[in-house]
Amino acid sequence: MTVAPPTDPTPIHVLVGILTDTAGRVLIAERPAGRHMAGAWEFPGGKCRALESPAEALARELREELDIEVERAEPFMELRHDYPDRRVRLDVWRVYEYRGSVRAREGQGLRWVPVEALREQPILAADAPIVEAILAGSAEARQ
């Protein structure tokens, strides 16, 4: 069976936040029912709106999803992924400081996962390179 490429060549610009807790665990979120790829796990974030900067989009998405206010975040990596029905451009940021307590405002599942256990999680294919980059950075930090 051949899968046709996505009909719209323009990738959806998605901001992704990498959050860690004081124990060094990384936050992942379950995609809620009714959304594309529902039930899969990903790093929190969402679509950038027209006229919104990446930093503004990240802050808005994390406020809406997790009830936190981003105070300091920096770009980490950027990648593209083609699903059978859409293309995404992931603009990934490390969130170093935020105000508030993380909570699921959209009814999504949340997990704080030890870095070394990230590969064992049912992470979306688009997020797999992020897992590898986090693991590589963690390995470098231990050396």
62 C-beta neighbours (distance < 10 Å), count: 26
DSSP structure class, residue 52: -
| Residue 6 scores a pLDDT above 70 | no
CATH of region 12-142, choose from 3.40.1110.10, 3.90.79.10, 3.40.50.150, 2.10.109.10: 3.90.79.10
Q: What is the pTM of this model?
A: 0.88
Number of separate helices (H) and strands (E) present in the chain: 2, 7
Q: Which residues have CB under 8 Å from 40's CB, separation 6+? A: 30, 31, 122, 123, 124
Per residue in 38-86, pLDDT tens? 789 999 999 999 999 999 999 999 999 999 999 999 999 999 999 888 8
Identify residue 68 by its one-letter amino acid code: I
Mean pLDDT value of segment 11-34:
94
Q: Give the C-alpha separation, 85 to 127, whole Å.
A: 17
Point out which residues pair with 113 in neighbouring strands: 26
